[in-house]
Amino acid sequence: MREDSKEIDAFLVSLLRTVGESLRGDSIKKKSVGTKKNRNDLVTNFDKKTEKFINSEIKKNYPQATIVSEEGYGDKVQDMSGLVFFVDPIDGTMNFVKRRDDFASMIGAYIDGKPLIGAIINVMDNEIYHGGKEIGLFINDKKIDNPKDLSLIEGLVDVSAPMALANKFNVQSVIKKSSGFRVYGSAGIIFGHLLTGKEVMYMSYLAPWDLAAGRVMCEAAGMSIVSIDDSPINMLESQVVIVGTQKVVSEALKTLKTR
Ligand code: IPD
Ligand code: CA
Ligand code: CA
Ligand code: CA
């Protein structure tokens, strides 16, 4: 098992290194931009191209695996048995289109439903956050320590813009108790901030590919991750999740109005 983790980790790091290099070039090219569910839900030719490339590399190296991915080139995965990869080719597509920074590419690997390895590249910084419970956590080649278990008053929190603006679950009461509020617009970038203690909580409605890699690493780092209604996290559904230090998640759950 340990060998599997190491091998999958090395594979994902090398794959995301290649993906990052091409996305840095793509970021300054003219993009063909379409919308999906609404006018703020964007997809570009580069989201599709990147997903096709990542999925084909996974299938080449792990033909037995199944893939859950955002842009439609994955498998119809019905259950979590065996090796399952979750792929978000560009996380923060709006940032990729508008700002050309603060976007990521993410891959999470699970075995029989258990979190195994997560890998997230902050594309413009060329930093890869990767690892899992068995092998530890790294930024590129450097091992990182778990972040401190800070409380709400001691740290910055990140809530997705629609949830914060609508004051969903009375989330503004949590925001007001923190050191400050930030909205980065890319789950992958925010997971990097959580893993390095720059932020202490993230709350958002997330799809499986938004959550998979970050969940593996945040759990390995001793952080808490819960769904808003306290049901077990379901990796084949979208849900509102709170990820953060143990202290902050328990404070948030006491403050939020979830029913
Ligand atoms: C989105 C970003 C955003 C989060 C959304 C996601 P995408 O991912 O991670 O921060 O709030 O829920 O859908 O669509 O750019 O891959
Ligand atoms: Ca998207
Ligand atoms: Ca995403
Ligand atoms: Ca995406």
Q: How far is the CA of 91 from the centre of ligand 4 (A)?
A: 4
| Ligand 1, CB within 6 Å, residue ranges | 88, 91-93, 160, 185-187, 204-206, 210
Which residue's CA is minimally distant from atom 11 of ligand 1?
160
Q: How far is the CA of 118 from the centre of ligand 2 (A)?
A: 19
Rounded to the nearest 5°, which phi and psi values hold at 61?
-90, -30
Q: Is 112 annotated as a binding residue?
A: no
SS3 of the chain: CHHHHHHHHHHHHHHHHHHHHHHHHHCCCCCCEEECCCCCCEEEHHHHHHHHHHHHHHHHHCCCCEEEECCCCCCCCCCCCCEEEEEEEEECHHHHHHCCCCCEEEEEEEECCEEEEEEEEECCCCEEEEEECCCEEEECCEECCCCCCCCHHHCEEEECHHHHHCCHHHHHHHHHHCCEEECCCCHHHHHHHHHCCCCCEEEEEECHHHHHHHHHHHHHCCCEEEECCCCCCCCCCCEEEEEECHHHHHHHHHHCCCC
Which residue's CA is minimally distant from atom 16 of ligand 1?
91
Q: What is the structure's pLDDT at 30?
A: 94
Q: What is the structure's pLDDT at 99?
A: 83
Nearest atom in ligand 1 to the alpha carbon of residue 190 is 10
Low-confidence ranges of the chain (pLDDT < 70): 1-3
Q: What is the structure's pLDDT at 3?
A: 55
Q: What is the structure's pLDDT at 130?
A: 99
**pLDDT tens digits along 214-249:** 999 999 999 999 999 888 999 999 999 999 999 999
Nearest atom in ligand 1 to the alpha carbon of residue 185 is 10
Q: What is the structure's pLDDT at 70?
A: 98
pTM metric for this prediction: 0.97
Q: Is 70 annotated as a binding residue?
A: yes
Pocket test for ligand 1, best of 91, 120, 122, 183 (most atoms within 8 A of CB): 91
- Structural domains in the chain? 2-143 (3.30.540.10), 152-255 (3.40.190.80)
Nearest atom in ligand 1 to the alpha carbon of residue 41 is 14
Q: What is the structure's pLDDT at 159?
A: 98
Nearest atom in ligand 1 to the alpha carbon of residue 47 is 16
